Each structure stands twice: as structure tokens, then as C-alpha cells.
Amino acid sequence: MAPFDLADSQASAAGFARVAGRLGAVSVQVADIAGSLAALRQGLAAAAEEAGRLDAAAARVAEGAAAMAGSASRAEAALSAAREEATGAEAAAALAALAESVQRAGEEVAAMAGGAAAAGAEAAAMRTGIAAQAQVTAALAQEVTQAAQRGETLRDISEALMEEMAAAGVETEDSPFIRAAQAAAAEVGRLFEAALAAGDITEAALFDEAYRPLPGTDPPQLLAGFTALTDRLLPPVQEPLLGLDPRVVFAAAVDRNGYLPTHNAKFSQPQRPGETAWNTANCRNRRIFDDRTGLGAARNRKPFLLQAYRRDMGGGQVALMKDCSAPILVRGRHWGGFRLAYRAE
């Protein structure tokens, strides 16, 4: 057996760290592609809907033109009959005026019919284009789905590598965030246990899932049996972490359903009635984040979980993020997770 070589071991660990970093970057890119594809699908759906409305309008115009054409035909028949029976100068003048009116009506019907035909042709062309684009999008969707599946596999490998390296004490660019999330999770669990011991809250209230909506909030905000307690206990744990690194965006505890009772102060502004986009970006407390990343962090029971995702910042702004979380345990019972999110650069 070859003797143990410390230098080789350290080099291997450094290599694993570099591989894990590259895998994390790939997972971020896959998340970005998936988001772009979703936006493309929405655009195509809107275009298809508009084409349908145009086609329906063309059909209604065509129906109206047909009805007018029928009326013109009946008027011409009446004119012919009147000509056969009419006598005298007055009758002749009246018939001439009627003939001129019928001619104008016929010209208008012809113009309308031409417009209807053009509108129908345009709608048909649009449908053909959308159908072709839909085929391209379907092929692209399949490719992106396959890429996303490969990205999921890479992400799983990356997370496994990160766990192994963290357990072995190998330092990576994510290590400071991992340690900070784990320390914060442990401190929140300790604070909750102290509150139970002091009688500040019951265990039933601390694990309450009967979320109560706050009237007039958009996006919806909710209260739970422990919200008042977290408003008092969590800010001293969460706020200092915003200064850990310039890339940190937020640090907050969530329960096992993704409910975030007490956010950082900058994301806990009072809502503005009728300003949904502003509220989405600035009023993120007392909300449930049950997306894949949110639930992953909330329900994870491993020592830590590192995820890459796209975060909706409100107002059409999306940021590529990493989310490091650690489980919060209270008397051995899983309460939720502590999330430390930072920009992926």
C-alpha cells in the first residue's frame, strides 16, 4: 500500500472544491434557462390568444358582409321590379336615386368583404407562424428539460460533494455561509426552547400551522401562533448576518411549510394598497414561500442544503441566487430551517 501523502490529499480536496464550484455554476445556468423558457411559453400563449381573437373578428366581419350582400341583392330585385312598373318622370327620378343607393351599398359590401378576406388571411398566416414556432419551442422545451434533468443530477452531485468536504473540513467559497446558517439555526432552536421553558409560548402554538390571512394584503400575508414570538426573538439573530458578506441578500428562519414569519427589516415594510409589485419586493415577511427552493430549505434535515435558484425581486427583476439552509430543531422536533441567501457571482 502506498504511503499516505498529505500534499496529494490536500490537492485532491482542492480539486473537489473546484469541481463543486463548477457544478454549482452549471445549476445556476440551468435555472436561468428554465426561467427564460417559461417566459417564451407565456409569450407564445399570448400570441396564440391574440390570433384567435383576430380570426374571430374576421369571421364576424365576413358574416356582416354576407348579410349586407344579401340586403343589396334584395334591393336590386326590388329595383328591377319597380322599373317594370314605374311610369312618369317622378317615378323615373326615384328609381334613379334608388339605383345609385344600391350601387353605393354594393361598393361598400365589396370593400368590407375584401377587408374581411385580408383579416382572415392575416389570422391564418399568424396561426401558421405560431404553429411553426410552437414546434420549435416544443423541441427546445424537450432539450431544456433534458438539460434541466442533467442539471438536477449535477446539483445533487455538487451537494453531496459539498457535504463530504464540509465534514472533512475542506474550505470552499460556500463554507462561511454554511457555518453561518448552521450557527443561526442552532441559536434559533435554543431561543425557542428557552421560550418554551419560560412559558412564553406553548409547543402547540410554536408548531401552529393554522395560518390566518391578514385582510387587504397583496401578496397575501399571514399570522401564526408563533409570529409575535419570532418578531421579538429573531431580528437579533438575522440582522447581523446581512453584514457577513456583500453578496448576502437575506437571512431568515422559515417553518417546515415555508412560512417566513419574521423577515429582515428591509423586507418587512408596510404594504402599500394597490401596489402589488412594490409589495412583492419589499413586504416579504409573514408570507409562505412554497416553491421548490423554499420547501427544500424548510424541510431539509441534513446538516445543510445548498441550492441555486432564480429569485423574484419584484418589478420584473430576477436575481440568480444561492440558498444555504440548515435545519432548526426544538427539543428534537423539526421546526423548519434557517435560510441564508446570497448572490451567485
List phi, psi (to 5°) of 252. Answer: -160, 150
The three three-digit cell numbers of residue 74, written as one number: 334584395
pTM: 0.61
How would residue 2 be classed by pLDDT, with cut points 50, 70 and 90?
very low
DSSP state of 215: T
pLDDT at 164: 74
Average of per-residue pLDDT values in the chain: 79
Range from 30-44, 58-72, 316-330 that averages highest in pLDDT: 316-330
Tell me the pLDDT tens digit for each residue of 65-80.
566 556 556 656 655 5
How is 278-302 classified by DSSP, letter by letter? HHHHHB-TTEE--SHHHHHHHH--S
Spatial contact of 297 and 335, defined as CB atoms under 8 Å apart:
no
User: 122-154: per-residue pLDDT in tens?
Assistant: 767 777 877 777 777 777 767 767 766 776 677
Q: Which of 43-52, 262-271, 287-296, 320-329 has the lowest mean pLDDT?
A: 43-52
